[in-house]
Amino acid sequence: MLRRVALMGLVLFLVGCGGSGKRSATGSVPVKTIAVPSRTVTYSSAASAMEPTIHCARPGTGCQGTANDGLVTKEPATGLQRADIVVFRTPPLAAVKCGAGGKFVKRIIGLPGDVWEERNGYVYIDGKKLDEPYVQAERRDAQTLTLADIPPLRTMKQIPQDMYLVMGDNRSSSCDSRVWGLVPRANIIGKVVQILRQSNG
C-alpha cells in the first residue's frame, strides 16, 4: 500500500494546516518549511484510507489528489502518542482481510493500557469520547465495536503493552485494526513528520 521513494534532506514545499509547526493537542502533523530530521525516508500512499489528511491520486476510489502525497517519515519512530500518523508492517491477517499487506499508513488511536471502543462511528477511550477533528463527518462509519470484537476475537478488555490500535481518517473506507487487529510496537517503522503535496500552480 505504501511505496518508498527517495531520501530527503530539506523539505521545500509543504501543505496542510498552517501555523507554528508545533504539535497541537489533536496530534496534527506540522506543515511548514523546516529542516527534516537527520534520518528520514519518504513514502507515497496510493490508498484513500487517510483522506483527506493524506491524498491519493484521482481517479482512484475516494482519492482527492492530482498525485499521491509524499510522506516524510522519521525512522525509527520514537515517543509515540495518540493521533500520530505512522508507517508500519501489517500483521499477516491484513493480507487476508484487506486483500493487501506490507506497509500501511494509519493514525494511532489506541495506546497500551487503553480501553477502546467505537460507538455509532465515534471512538471512546476509557469511556470518554475522543475529539477527532481529522475525521470528516461524511467519512465516518456507523460501527459499534469493542476490543472483544477485533482479532483475536473475545481476548482483550484493554490494549496490551507494546501494542497499538490504528485507524484511517477515512473511517468508512479504511481496512485497519478493527478488521485485522492490533499493531505490535516492533512493526512500527516510522512516524510521519511532514506531508508533501504537489502544487497545482
User: In whole angstroms, what is the distance from residue 92 CA to residue 39 CA?
Assistant: 28
- Which among 81, 82, 84, 85 is positioned nearest to 69, based on CA atoms? 85
Q: Which member of 44, 45, 48, 174 is catalytic?
A: 45
Determine whether 191 is an active site residue. Answer: no
Of the candidates 106, 174, 177, 191, the residue annotated as catalytic is 106
Q: Is 45 a catalytic residue?
A: yes
- Cis peptide preceding 160, ω within 30 of 0: no
Q: Exposed (0-12), middle (13-18) or buried (19+): which is 107, by Cβ within 10 Å?
A: buried
Please give the positions annotated as active site.
Answer: 45, 106
